[in-house]
Structure formats: C-alpha cells, structure tokens
Amino acid sequence: MRDKKVWLITGAGRGLGADIAKAVLAAGHAVVATGRDPAAVRRAVGPADDLLVTALDITSPDDAAAAVQAAVDRFGRIDVLVNNAATLIAGYFEEIPPEDFERQLRTNLLGPMSVTRAVLPVMRRQRSGHIISISSGAGLVGFEFSSAYAAAKFGLEGWMDSLAAEVASFGVHTTIVNPGFFRTELLSQESASYAQESVDDYADRRAAQLTWWNAQHGQQPGDPVKLARALVIVADSDDPPRRFIAGADAIALAEQKISELSAQVAAFRELSLSLAHDDTES
C-alpha cells in the first residue's frame, strides 16, 4: 500500500463518518474517530489496532484541542482531517428562529473551522496534510426550505477556498466534497429538525416540503460506503482535487450551477463591462 496516514474524522458515530472511519482502516491507515458520544463511535466503527476513539463535539474548541493532542500523543501526526459532522435545520427563512439559524451556523460552519484551527499547527509543523470538508449540493445551489443549511455550506466553501491559498505553501491540501443525496441518518429525527409553523403564507408549501423531505429518508440514491471508499482514493492521490463532486445528482447540480452562472454573466455582460472609471484602459 501507499504510505500509512493518520486520519482524524469528526462525527464518526454514525452516518458517513462511521463509513469513512471503516474504509480508512480497511485501507490500512490509522484513524482518530471522534464524536460527541465515544461509546457510540466505538460501537459504530468496531475494534481495530490503529484506532483511537476520542470525544469531540465540534462546537467546543476545548474538545478540538484535546482531540488533536490525543491524536498526536498516540500517533505523532495528523495527515488527513475530515470535517464531516453536521446537522440539518430546515424550514422557510422567515420561520426559522434566529437562534436556530445561529445554531446551524455554529455547528456546520464554525464547528469545522474550530477543529481545523486546532489541527493546522500540527500540519504546518509537518509541512504536509490534507483537510477534507464535507459540504453538500446545497453548498453549490440554494434551495427553498434550506436557507440555514445552505448558508452554512456556502460559508464553508468560501472559507475552504480561501484557506487553500493560505496553506498550500506548507504542503497542506484542501478538498471540498459536494455529496448529492446519500442514504445516511441525516434526514432522521436525530439529525434533522424542521422549523415550526409561524407564517400562514407558507402553510401549503411547508406541508409539501415536509412530505417531500420525509419521503427522501431511506430512499437516497447514494451509497455512503462507496462514498467513503472514494474519499480514500481522493486522499491517496498525489495531487488531491480542490473539489470532489460526489454522485450523479450532485454532478447535475454542479452543471446547473455552471450554466446558470454563464447565463448570468451573459445577461448583463455589456453593462458590467462599462463600470470602470473612464480613464481606466479596458
């Protein structure tokens, strides 16, 4: 096999995170599997020699610092960080209480930042590393009923794109992953919460959205075990991609985004090109 690497994975107690931990171990790498409930992580990942399970609520910078220290104490390094853990808070923007919107940003945007802040000094010292952050199709395209989740994922992407330029010279790669719908527990009651009704104007659409979202649970086309194996291939490549769009539905969304952006550029191109000071050469 290629060089053995040390992976630190958030949210490894269920869903995609558990599958990533198992795929990474099966490929012969070492894993620091983290989660809010270490016993659940142990149960989900199973026993392995090169496995360290440690507590990490991604909204706690102290947890992040302690998990990184535990990883370095055990394995001496961290080669790959996977910012995987997240929740879904859905609903119409006007019906999502501000504190819930903030909670979504705290978990899905500030959480990955906090864990990465703890890991980066280790990677800079090594002059090598790879930060993989799981975004979403909703990090490429905004959807009705998804403003809080999409705001967090769009933010994650802007932060990751900027970080890429800051850390490349230290030998640290970054990859944004845009999964389509994968059959995990994200749409279960444990992970997803929906805004309570408060604005009558949304009543019919809210009901239709809830029916649609609940119907998706367990029917998502993507297989998280395959995605986990694909991430091992991506991380093992000599020149990891800045972005990995995962699943046929995600590719369709990305292509929709490209054509919409092209159309938006074309629609007012001449107006846009006319905005420089008159003394600026075009």
**Are the C-beta atoms of residues 60 and 36 closer than 8 Å to each other?**
no
Part in contact with ligand NAP (CB under 6 A); list of ranges 7-15, 166-174, 197-205, 251-259 = 7-15
Q: Give the DSSP letter string of 235-280.
A: HHSSS--SEEEESHHHHHHHHHHHHHHHHHHHHTHHHHHT-S-TTS
- Given the structure tokens 């600026």, which residue do they identify? 280
Bridge partner list, 174: 131
**Which residue type, as a one-letter code, is found at position 34?**
T
The answer to whether residue 68 forms part of the interface with ligand NAP (CB under 6 A) is no
135 a catalytic residue? yes
Among 113, 186, 231, 234, binds ligand NAP (CB under 6 A): 186
- As a residue count, the chain comes to 282
Smallest separation (angstroms) from ligand NAP to the CB of 199: 26
The answer to whether residue 174 forms part of the interface with ligand NAP (CB under 6 A) is no
Task: Please identify, using beta-carbon distances, which residue of 129 and 180 lies nearer to ligand NAP.
Answer: 180
- Which is nearest to 9 in space by CA: 234, 276, 231? 231
Among 5, 7, 8, 10, binds ligand NAP (CB under 6 A): 10
- Which is nearest to 52 in space by CA: 11, 6, 117? 6
Radius of gyration of the chain (CA): 20
Determine the size of the site formed for ligand NAP (CB under 6 A): 31
The answer to whether residue 185 forms part of the interface with ligand NAP (CB under 6 A) is yes
User: Active site residue: 135, 136, 146, 147, which one?
Assistant: 135
Task: Please identify, using beta-carbon distances, which residue of 31 and 86 lies nearer to ligand NAP.
Answer: 86
Please report the beta strands in 162-249, taking only residues with DSSP state E, as ranges in sequence order.
172-179, 192-194, 243-246
SS3 content of the chain, % helix, strand, coil (to 5): 55, 15, 30
Give the nearest residue (CB) to ligand NAP. Answer: 15
User: Active site residue: 5, 133, 147, 153, which one?
Assistant: 153
Task: Please identify, using beta-carbon distances, which residue of 52 and 134 lies nearer to ligand NAP.
Answer: 134
Q: What angle do CA 172, 158, 101 make, to 5 degrees?
A: 125
Among 87, 104, 116, 146, binds ligand NAP (CB under 6 A): 87
CB neighbour list of residue 106: distance below 8 Å, 6 or more residues apart: 59
The answer to whether residue 23 forms part of the interface with ligand NAP (CB under 6 A) is no
The answer to whether residue 134 forms part of the interface with ligand NAP (CB under 6 A) is yes
5 a catalytic residue? no
Task: Please identify, using beta-carbon distances, which residue of 35 and 129 lies nearer to ligand NAP.
Answer: 35
Task: Please identify, using beta-carbon distances, which residue of 174 and 184 lies nearer to ligand NAP.
Answer: 184
The answer to whether residue 11 forms part of the interface with ligand NAP (CB under 6 A) is yes
Contact letters for ligand NAP, residues 190-219 (x by CB under 6 A):
xx----------------------------
Q: What angle do CA 183, 187, 192 make, to 5 degrees?
A: 150
Tell me the catalytic residues: 135, 149, 153
Residues that bind ligand NAP (CB under 6 A): 10-11, 13-17, 35-37, 40, 57-59, 84-87, 107, 111, 134, 136, 179, 181-182, 184-186, 190-191, 220
